[in-house]
Amino acid sequence: MATAFFDRLADRIATVDSVVSVGLDSQLDRLPDHLADHDLPQWAFNRRIIDATHEHAACYKPNAAFYESADGWRALRETIAYAHGKDVPVLLDAKRADIGNTTRQYAEILDEVDAITVNPYMGQDSLQPFLDRADKGVFVLCRTSNPGRTDFQGLDLDSGGTLYERVADRAVAWNEHNNVGLVVGATGPDELEAIREQVPSLPFLVPGVGAQGGDAKAAVEHGLRDDGVGLVNSSRGIIFAGEDKGDDFAAAAGQSAKQLKQRLNQYRGDD
């Protein structure tokens, strides 16, 4: 039987002493000019980024939005294989879920990646094909990092609590295979702390440090489970750290990943 995702992630965190998720949001018009002639510029960029960052990476998190073209998917497949060749898990940030036949098709991407983000708005049946993959990680959007998170997520329910608290509760119920985590942004440290208290058993993916200015200390103190499993993501803050540095872009990304690891490690194991 394949090892469960969160066990593999725990091993990876221990190996690199890092909870950094390196976000591969490799936006074509921000890539170095000299990569434009490459057959697949995003792949050429990602390979250099992976070479420079893998020793600090608990996982890579490509966001599917940046790869939704024929060449993009080819670049993504090369990137996934290369990350795996370095023993780094890949979490596809795709925020999937839909009606039954569509969501079954969406879930097939889990044959290629280690974990995925899903959107719970359509309910349990829309998530079931992902939840059924016991060896893969399924991160459910709970309290997101964007300003518009207040539009719906914080609404009070007649049954008590808020919508995002209800999502957190349901996620515990969906965790039959110990493969469910939550996405909780670092931009709302109070909610992050409250959700951690509400669901101590679930690992979190915490985006929003770096370019979005979220709270790195809270991301570690409340984002990680008691056993230290969890992920703190930075995408633009790492991969575009050397945007003005020509061919030294990858070294700058490596330095940025290392700095984030060291910063987060100040807060790990402090409790």
Footprint of ligand LLZGTKA7 on this chain (CB under 6 A)? Answer: 23, 25, 63, 93, 144-145, 183, 185, 207-208, 210-212, 233-237
d(CA 141, CA 251): 32
Nearer to ligand LLZGTKA7 among residue 132 and residue 154 (C-beta): 154
Q: Are 260 and 238 in contact (CB under 8 A)?
A: yes
Nearer to ligand LLZGTKA7 among residue 61 and residue 268 (C-beta): 61
What is the closest distance, in whole angstroms, from the C-beta atom of residue 145 to ligand LLZGTKA7 in the complex?
4
Identified catalytic residue from 61, 95, 136, 261: 95
Nearer to ligand LLZGTKA7 among residue 26 and residue 103 (C-beta): 26
What is the closest distance, in whole angstroms, from the C-beta atom of residue 61 to ligand LLZGTKA7 in the complex?
7
DSSP alpha helices (H): ranges in 54-99?
70-85
> Looking up tokens 């991969």, which residue turns up?
239
- The residue number whose beta carbon is nearest to ligand LLZGTKA7 equals 144
HSE-CB at 177 with a 13 A cutoff on CA atoms is 17
Answer yes or no: 86 catalytic: no
HSE-CB at 259 with a 13 A cutoff on CA atoms is 13
d(CA 171, CA 139): 9
Q: Are 97 and 121 in contact (CB under 8 A)?
A: yes
In the chain, the amino acid numbered 228 is G
What is the closest distance, in whole angstroms, from the C-beta atom of residue 65 to ligand LLZGTKA7 in the complex?
7
Nearer to ligand LLZGTKA7 among residue 135 and residue 163 (C-beta): 163
**Cβ neighbours, 10 Å, residue 29:** 5
Nearer to ligand LLZGTKA7 among residue 64 and residue 271 (C-beta): 64
What is the closest distance, in whole angstroms, from the C-beta atom of residue 1 to ligand LLZGTKA7 in the complex?
30
d(CA 157, CA 29): 43
What is the closest distance, in whole angstroms, from the C-beta atom of residue 90 to ligand LLZGTKA7 in the complex?
13
**What Rg value do the Cα atoms of the chain yield, rounded?**
18
The residues annotated as belonging to the active site are 95
